[in-house]
Amino acid sequence: MKPLADLRIIALEQYGAGPFGSVQLADLGAQVIKIEDPETGGDIGRYVPPFQAGEDSLFFETFNRNKSSIDLDLTTAGGRAVFEDLVRVSDAVYSNLRGDVPAKLRLTYADLAHLNARIVCCPLTGYGVTGPRASEPGYDYLLQGIAGWMDLTGEPSGPPAKSGLSLVDYSAGLVAAIAILAGVHAARRDGAGMDCDVSLFDTAMSMLTYPAIWSLNGDFAPQRTRHSAHPSLVPFQAFETSDAWIVVGCPKEKFWQRLTVAIGLPELGEDERFATFADRRRNAEALMPLLEAAFAGRTAREWLDVLGGAGVPCAPVNSVAAALRDEQTAARGLVVETEHPRFGTVRQLRGPVRVGSEQPGYRRAPGRGEDREAIVRSLLGYDQARIDELEQGGAFGSAGVRAHRHELLP
């Protein structure tokens, strides 16, 4: 049995942040039931280019493998009734919507506790469900700006820059997964569920970590650093070799001593200007040209061999393609495959959570509404008369939208 095989989550999720959190739980065996709005075509991630056609996209595949999908219009009486029946047999209701929407859609513990006293309600919002920005839409790019990340990223002489990945989205998804697991644990222990309140803003602010603490408790003003240098450890940054970039770091004094010998400049290890972390930081302008000149004299591969052999922390600055080809990627089995009716064999990255010795299995992301019959018949026990009634009431979407969906499918 997979670690989370006894966990069922109803997910009103879209795009990347919410689905990234729940896919970690799905990979570990949780049953994640995506509720998709038939009136809007479901999760917007289905339509993200490139590699997109109809209601299928590789973006959607990335975040939604191992999940189930049901079309449900929560604005109809029937759709709400199906949702409430799902609440009765589930552990958590998870959403990533604007901060004021969970209350409007009646997704809070106060709204659902009468159906299931142990239900955990976990909204992942842009700015949280309280505060002056609660009703504002939140996206990773915006949060990297408002939380100070972009001010810290990029070259000192260049414009502010965002991370190459949506790190606020993905980090917040992981935080939400932790919140769900903590909430369900407490609900099973105490017999009562609760509301969680996870946001991109809180996550991004908390990840400012020590630069924020230095700023709050001293006169430290975080600055962008040349060549992605660490704000206090010198050297710890990217260096340009004769043919490519590498990253070299000395997070311990022993590494500094090893580095000076490895690059053929042992005298730097005896130089009082560079004796300690503080000394090297204070005299970085004198030290960096010496190191940069040394690294420019050989290729990246040569330096990685020399430094690795000397026990100095180092790594290549890979392209994405090169990272996927790295021998460690293969050794860790990080590339997995699923079969898709439109895309054929889809190669994906496995989740980072490893629990126990059993290897997780992977199945493709669901088509919109694909699992309706299994959910309403097997899980909820509806008979055909009840299903017909719900169909007629628009619980699963209007006939026009369903017809449009069939036009999009192969």
What integer best gives the mean pLDDT of the chain? 94
Per-residue pLDDT tens digits for 164-217: 999 999 999 999 999 999 999 999 999 999 999 999 999 999 999 999 999 999
User: Diameter of the chain by CA atoms?
Assistant: 86
Please report, for the chain, the start and end positions of each structural domain, with discontinuous segments joined by +.
Answer: 8-207+333-408, 227-240+245-316
Calpha distance 342→56 (Å, rounded): 8
Q: What is the structure's pLDDT at 1? A: 85
What is the Cα 157 distance to its own chain's centre? 30
Per-residue pLDDT tens digits for 90-122: 999 999 999 999 999 999 999 999 999 999 999
Q: What is the structure's pLDDT at 400? A: 41
Which of 37, 56, 169, 195 is the catalytic position?
169
Q: What is the structure's pLDDT at 314? A: 98
Per-residue pLDDT tens digits for 229-255: 998 899 999 999 999 999 999 999 999
Query: Phi, psi (5° rounding) for residue 218?
Result: -160, -160
Per-residue pLDDT tens digits for 316-343: 999 999 999 999 999 999 999 999 999 9
| Ramachandran class of 381: left when φ > 0, alpha when ψ lies in -120 to 50, beta otherwise | left
Q: Do domains 8-207+333-408 and 227-240+245-316 have the same CATH topology?
A: no
Query: Phi, psi (5° rounding) for residue 289?
Result: -60, -35
Q: What is the structure's pLDDT at 385? A: 97
- Region of poorest pLDDT, from 144-153, 356-365, 385-394: 356-365
- Per-residue pLDDT band for 219 (boundaries 50, 70, 90) equals confident
Instruction: Map residue 4 onto helix, strand or coil.
Output: coil
Per-residue pLDDT tens digits for 266-322: 999 999 999 999 999 999 999 999 999 999 999 999 999 999 999 999 999 999 999
- Per-residue pLDDT band for 401 (boundaries 50, 70, 90) equals very low
Calpha distance 65→346 (Å, rounded): 11
With a cut of 50, say whether residue 408 has pLDDT above it: no
Calpha distance 290→286 (Å, rounded): 7
CATH T-level topology, domain 8-207+333-408: Rossmann fold (3.40.50)
Q: What is the structure's pLDDT at 357? A: 84
Task: Report in angstroms the alpha-carbon separations of 157 from 118, 254, 287.
Answer: 54, 33, 20
Rounded percentage of the chain residues whose pLDDT exceeds 90: 93
Task: Report in angstroms the alpha-carbon separations of 186 from 39, 196, 316.
Answer: 36, 12, 44
In this prediction the pTM is 0.92
Residue 169 among the catalytic residues: yes
Q: For 227-240+245-316, CATH number?
A: 3.30.1540.10
- Per-residue pLDDT band for 399 (boundaries 50, 70, 90) equals low
Check whether the bond before 3 is cis (ω within 30° of 0).
no
Per-residue pLDDT tens digits for 40-51: 999 999 999 999
Show the CA angle centred on residue 293, arms to residues 288 and 297, nearest 5°. Answer: 145
Give the torsion sign (CA, 318, 324, 325, 327): positive
Under 8 Å between Cβ of 37 and 187: no
